[in-house]
Chain A
Amino acid sequence: MPTIPIYPQSRQGATHHSNLPHVLQTPSGLAVVEIQGTIKCSTPHTGAHDDVLAAVGRVVFPYYDDAKGAGDNAWQKRVYLYIGQHQRLTGEVKKLANPMALLRRRAASNDGHDELEIAEIVHYKLTFAHRPEPVGANGGE
């Protein structure tokens, strides 16, 4: 098929609400996380059949304060990703120079032709570019 249409983001549907910091929140709840490296995960995938998950860690925004509102950007400089109990990746919330569209195959493609849609447009990403640091089980150093 020489031409594949890409449909614009649908504006219907309830806006997704999550507890993520505002800049990372998107209508569909989709966000982008980048890690310089690979996660080797030995945790068995668990969960219901259609939603099998492997827990790899926790993302913490140590300086984020919901009360401070949109004007405060200092917290974006530091985000932690704890992998298991003993390793921590330091990263930041980064504004993308060029926003990115997340394209996915359109569910309601009619006659078997490929159709794509813009699922979301993200302006920020969570990026972890530093090597992991060892931390104690309680997070102290």
Chain B
Amino acid sequence: MATPDDAGFDLAIVAEENQQHFRLLELPPDLLNLITSANAPVIKLKSSQNDSGMNSAVLCTPDKTYEIRQVSTSNTVFVTESTSQSKIPDVSSQPVLKAIAQPQSTLELLPCSATSAIPYIVAALPSYTSTQHQSSSTAVSKDDLFANIPLNDGQCEAGWIELACFESGDGQHAVIPTASVKTTVWKAVLDAATATGIDLTGELNRDDLSRLLNMESDWPEAVSTAVLRSMSTPDLTSNTTTLDPELCAKRVGLALLKDLSGPTSGSISTAPFKTKWADLLPEKWRTHAALNLLNGCYRLENGGKDILIVEDSLDAVAAANGGSTAGSGSTLGAKRKWHEKFRASKKAA
């Protein structure tokens, strides 16, 4: 029969004021693999700045986002450290399990569904117009911007590229070029390609790019680079850039539609729009100018004669807000389903 005098460990608790602070974080298998891998990356706890809800904290790896749920326990949980010698007077010199911390809750991670960073970027960044270079908003650098978006870096970067964002001036002012700037820049690139005989539908090497981008122009080269990048498929291994026909047609079409609709977002005639759109594409890609590429960004009126842009930025922001309300709604639901929580802990016990 075992007795208290058997070889074992003294359990001792460090006085509360000297306890350390630990957080327990449950690790899903993919996260465990990541952080135990040879070159484990730094992972990030993020929260959005304006959200005050509890649910706004997320944990981000370079390419995954997890929602964090804080689960309290009524049990006493100790983090212990084993030391080989007892420092307690009047107790045997047995090894000691020293309880150095008493975490009150565990952080559980739930994988998040893919969300676009675009609404966050649109809300945070000033737009770049050719006439007025800085809007009144305070300057935000790209790093600051990403730090404030509760999504992983991959998602942030994808949104950044899609919107053709760039850092202007001293590299501290991240901006989004307006549709009109994008269209103008693209047209200049297209003209330059015709003038220099560069085929935009083929592979573009560095030389080609510098010839296309170093044209006499009113805007910094960063704009043109960003616009071209928003149309190309990312290929980090090669030194060449290849424009993607679908992406190119889509970005050009959307920018043109926004530009033509003007600030009032009024409807414009469909047929001339489609012609202008096709004219703005390299000759070989004219056929790619099809309305289905812009699905979700427009509405046809007048039996298809007129096209009306659906203010995607506003909608997207609204959708993002709606998304977060839906999110908090679901937490409320989850809180009410306390018995389901209990069931899990019952099974575990």
- In the complex, residue of chain A having the shortest beta-carbon distance to the beta carbon of B78: A33
Tell me if A121 and B32 are in contact (CB < 8 A). yes
Closest chain A residue to B32, Cβ basis: A99
Question: Of the candidates B20, B46, B80, B81, which one forms a contact with A3 in the assembled complex, judged by CB atoms under 8 Å apart?
Answer: B46
| CB-based contact A119/B15 at 8 Å | no
A interface residues with partner B (beta carbon < 8 Å): 2-9, 16-20, 28-39, 41, 45-48, 50-62, 80-82, 85, 88, 97-105, 116, 118-119, 121, 129, 135, 138-141
**Which of chain B's residues 86-132 have a Cβ closer than 8 Å to chain A?**
87-89, 91, 94-99, 106
Contacts of B96 in A (CB 8 A): 53
B47 CB to closest chain A CB, in angstroms?
6
**Chain A positions within 8 Å of B334 at CB level:** none
Measured between beta carbons, the chain A residues less than 8 angstroms from B32 are 98-99, 121
Chain B residues closer than 8 Å to A35, beta-carbon distance: 75-78
Cβ A140 vs Cβ B1 within 8 A: yes
**Cβ of B195 < 8 Å from any Cβ of A?**
no
The yes or no answer to B36 lying at the interface (CB within 8 A) is: yes
Nearest A residue to B47, CB-CB: A2
| A100 & B26 in contact (Cβ 8 Å cutoff) | yes
B42 partner, pick from A6, A20, A59, beta carbons under 8 A: A6
Can you spell out 20 A-B residue pairs with CB atoms less than 8 angstroms apart?
A: A2-B47, A4-B45, A4-B46, A6-B43, A8-B35, A9-B36, A19-B84, A31-B81, A32-B80, A33-B80, A34-B73, A34-B77, A37-B75, A51-B14, A51-B18, A56-B11, A82-B4, A100-B25, A104-B21, A140-B3
Give 14 new A-B contacts, CB below 8 A, not counting A48-B87, A60-B9, A102-B25: A18-B82, A19-B82, A31-B79, A36-B75, A36-B349, A46-B88, A55-B88, A62-B2, A81-B11, A100-B24, A102-B23, A138-B3, A139-B6, A140-B3
What's the nearest-Cβ distance from chain A to residue B29, in Å? 8
Q: Bound state CA distance, A97 and B89, in angstroms?
A: 39
Q: Write out the residue numbers on chain B whose beta carbons fall within 8 Å of the beta carbon of A50.
A: 18
A103 and B18 within 8 A (CB): no
A8 to B18, CA, bound (A): 25
B40 at the interface (CB under 8 A from A): yes
| Interface hub of A6, A28, A30, A88 (most chain B Cβ within 10 A) | A6
Residues from chain A with a CB closer than 8 A to the CB of B23 are 102-104, 116
Instruction: State in angstroms the CA–CA spacing of A41 and B88 once bound together.
Output: 15
Establish whether residues A101 and B24, one from each chain, have CB atoms under 8 Å apart when the complex forms. Answer: yes
**Complex formed: what's the CA distance from A88 to B136 in Å?**
69
Q: A32 vs B96: C-alpha distance in the bound complex, in angstroms?
A: 14
Within 8 A of A (CB), among B156-174: none
A25 to chain B, nearest CB (A): 8
